[in-house]
Amino acid sequence: MLKDTLYNSVQAAIEAIQHHLPAPPRVAIVLGSGLGFLADRVIHNRIVIDYDQIPGFEPPTVEGHAGRLVYGDLEGVPVLIYQGRFHYYEGHDLATVTLPARVAAALGVKLMILTAATGGIATGLAQGDLCCISDHINMIGANPLRGRHDERLGKRFPDMTEVYSQPWRHLAFQAAAMLNLPLKNAIYAAMPGPSYETPAEVRMLRALGADVVGMSTVPEAIVARASGMDVLAFAMVTNAAAGLADDPNMEITHDDVLEVAKHSGQRLGDLIVKLLNSHFIPK
């Protein structure tokens, strides 16, 4: 996507969204596979816009991603929830995958919360565990900032030393403690998909220091950080990565991922609600 085309795409999306919103959003939340029900927690000042009403936003093709933008107040905080995301493996370029992050930044969002269903790699991680992402390894093979730079959309060479905000991660662990909710640190490895990883790839990722593996999150985090937003990301472990299950012949399926996310994701919703409590979000 050319420089001016990308900027114009962001502006077109903003024009389609902004006039619906009674107040600027302060937090944006991207919901991963099977976690779309978290948007149902937004009741006050609720506004729903289908993706097909927003230029550049195509309806997702993956089950578990509704394809709706939900605005409203969550714990008194105006939030923008992306109920479904675009994936690189669907055939989208990374400019399309990260368009929602650029739109959020242009709308004035200061904190982007990313969520994802993931496979567990690290020893000790079990199905249903909730992790706070502390760092990532980009194995997709491309970077969303590649190409002609437009200073209106962020930095050319953003520092990636701390992609995921340490202060916000600290607050996330505080909120989890208040809920007596176990929360673990994790390094996220992003693979291109859509096939799940082979056992050899999982061994490679473990050797590189990855704790969980998925097919999203990292491009959005890079763009969000380059755009000046703080980033906080959570990974729900929905399955053991290939070759690590107790039954070596067990097949990993998307249906199983959605089922675990449905049953375990309520705790993630509780955590996000607690985190967005006015005690944590500055006025």
DSSP per-residue letters across 64-120? T---EEEEEEETTEEEEEEES---GGGT--HHHHTHHHHHHHHTT--EEEEEEEEEE
Across the chain, mean pLDDT equals 88
> Distances from the Cα of 198 to the Cαs of 222, 241, 252, 267, in angstroms?
26, 9, 11, 30
What would the mean pLDDT of 145-149 be, rounded to a whole number? 92
Classify residue 150 as exposed, middle or buried by CB count within 10 Å of its CB (0-12, 13-18, 19+): middle
Strands 212-214 and 111-120: antiparallel
The pLDDT tens digits for 75-92 are 889 999 999 888 999 899
Q: Taking 90 as the threshold, does the pLDDT of residue 187 lie above it?
A: yes
Contacts of 8 (CB under 8 A, 6+ apart): none
pLDDT at 58: 79
Of the residues 172, 215, 226, 242, only one is catalytic, namely: 215
pLDDT at 256: 65
Regarding predicted confidence, which is higher, 260 or 103? Answer: 103
The residue type found at 48 is V
By C-alpha distance, which of 217, 11, 1, 234 is closest to 102? 11
Main-chain phi, psi angles of 117, to 5 degrees: -85, 135
- Top CATH class, 3-275: alpha beta
Strands 44-50 and 68-74: antiparallel
Do residues 153 and 6 make contact, with C-beta atoms less than 8 angstroms apart? Answer: yes
Of the residues 9, 28, 33, 233, only one is catalytic, namely: 33
Q: Which two tokens stand for residue 20?
A: 């619906």
What is the pTM for the complete model shown? Answer: 0.91
Q: Is 90 marked active-site?
A: yes
Q: Is 254 marked active-site?
A: yes
Residue 136: half-sphere exposure toward Cβ, Cα within 13 Å: 33
Of the residues 82, 87, 105, 188, only one is catalytic, namely: 87
Rounded to 10 deg, the angle between the 99-106 and 3-18 helix axes is 60
Q: Which residue has the tokens 């990565």?
A: 241
Q: Is 44 marked active-site?
A: no
Which SS3 state, helix, strand or coil, does residue 186 take?
Answer: strand
pLDDT at 229: 97
pLDDT band at 113 (very low <50, low <70, confident <90, very high): very high
pLDDT at 172: 96
Of the residues 216, 220, 236, 241, only one is catalytic, namely: 216
The pLDDT tens digits for 221-269 are 999 999 999 999 999 998 877 666 555 555 656 566 666 666 677 889 8
Q: Which two tokens stand for residue 169?
A: 């991660």
pLDDT at 133: 98
Of the residues 9, 227, 239, 264, only one is catalytic, namely: 239
Of the residues 117, 172, 176, 229, only one is catalytic, namely: 117
pLDDT band at 283 (very low <50, low <70, confident <90, very high): very low
Q: Taking 50 as the threshold, does the pLDDT of residue 149 lie above it?
A: yes
Q: Is 178 marked active-site?
A: no
Of the residues 89, 139, 162, 185, only one is catalytic, namely: 89
pLDDT at 59: 77
What percentage of the chain has pLDDT greater than the value 90?
67
Of the residues 138, 162, 245, 254, only one is catalytic, namely: 254
Of the residues 9, 13, 39, 65, only one is catalytic, namely: 65
Which SS3 state, helix, strand or coil, does residue 8 take?
Answer: helix
Q: Is 19 marked active-site?
A: no
Regarding predicted confidence, which is higher, 254 or 97? Answer: 97
Residue 274's H or E segment, with its range, is helix 254-275
Q: Is 33 marked active-site?
A: yes
